[in-house]
Homo-oligomer: A and B are copies of this chain.
Amino acid sequence: MRFSVLKQNLEYVASKMAAIVSVKAIKPILFGALIEVEDGKIKVSATDMETSVKMSLGESFLEGEGAFVVDAKLLEEVARNTLSDQVHFTFEENRLTYRAQNSNYDLPFMEPDDFPPIHFIEEGQSLSFPRTVLIEMIEDVLYTCATDEMMKSLYCILWESEGKLLRLVGADGFRLSLSEQDIFNTEALPEFEDFRFLVSLKAMKELLNYLKEIKDDVVTLVYDGKRLCLGNESHRLLVRLMDYDYPDYRRVIPKTAKTKVVLDREEFLKKLRFVYVTTRTSGESVRFIFTDNELQMLARASDRGEADVEMAVQKEGNDLQIAFNPKFVIESVQHARQPKLELSFLDESSPMQINETDMPRTINIIMPMRMI
């Protein structure tokens, strides 16, 4: 088996494989990328057993048949440091050789039979999304997702549909974000069935990267109840869905508010950052004091002193004192896009809801901290 490929193609494909493979794999084969001939073309695959990818290498020459597995991160490094635009692979007599302009690399390889099989979905429900809207919705919720794999059901984003509506939800136990929009054309899809599934944080990040790289207006996912598949012959992604019970997010979203505040996003963010200086190293809370058309923010830490900032707001309802982890509030405000935000509160021990005005379907919920 011999084939030639452009350095830039190999570098791109190898970087995708290196991103997918496990960081801590139990078996060395899981660090590998499978390179094989399929339908007269060279295909490269990698998997961490949850997220899998298969790409075409776009070879300019191919002779013979065969398959081998190489360490994905090593392949990426070799490709990046290649000395010419064209690269030649030879896999013969138990030896894998990589040639480019006066250089040879004998690459170690693993047996393709040991590589875990990747079953792309042949049949399932087709879900079509406007690509840029889906990107925005994912970005709205991804940052609140738990980042620790041990958190299981919170190390996921919940996807659910209700008629024309897609809803994504992320949460980490201290905060929750929800984004929903009418994006399905149910008339064009009469047999559309509502779905509800969980996608792990790692798979969500791969999916987001993929969506940002392609240019199509509409992206179609195939869903078979256990897996999600997208892409085409030259770049296909397969995601195994998580099998956990997602917490009931509806219980967390406050039904009523006794205090509603509208304020300027930019000013709020700057002032939050100023008071956050005090508590950054200690994780202390910031106290928010809402009185008529004024918000005072107070923070104190034994070794870093005490900060106190005021800003004008529009307030309806009760005065209120409530405390938050300022890091969480800063992150929510950073992710908002509109110039004005609406904060809603029930009382000092109930969560705050942050909405962007004119974007009613993005909701951020942050649990309060106890005031000392």
Contacts and interface: CB of A to CB of B under 8 A. Distances in A.
Interface of A: 71, 74, 77-78, 81-83, 102-108, 270-271, 273-274, 276-278, 280, 303-311
Contacts of A105: 274, 277-278, 305-308
A290 to B, nearest CB: 15
B308 A108 contact: no
B280 A77 contact: yes
Which label, helix, strand, loop or mixed, suits the secondary structure of the A interface?
mixed
B74 A277 contact: yes
Given A74-B277, A274-B82, A307 B104 contact: yes
Contact of A81 (B277, B310, B311): B277
B274 A308 contact: no
B305 A106 contact: yes
Given A83-B271, A104-B308, A105-B278, 8 more contacts: A77-B277, A81-B270, A83-B274, A103-B274, A103-B310, A105-B306, A106-B305, A108-B304
A327 to B, nearest CB: 14
Nearest to A82: B274
A309 B108 contact: no
A83 B309 contact: yes
Contacts of A81: 270, 273-274, 276-277
B308 A103 contact: yes
A102 B312 CA distance: 10
A215 B43 CA distance: 57
28 contacts: A71-B304, A74-B304, A77-B277, A78-B274, A78-B277, A81-B270, A81-B274, A81-B276, A81-B277, A82-B274, A83-B274, A102-B309, A102-B310, A102-B311, A103-B271, A103-B274, A103-B307, A104-B308, A104-B309, A105-B274, A105-B277, A105-B278, A105-B305, A105-B308, A106-B307, A106-B308, A107-B305, A108-B303
A279 B107 CA distance: 13
Given A277-B74, A277-B81, A309 B106 contact: no
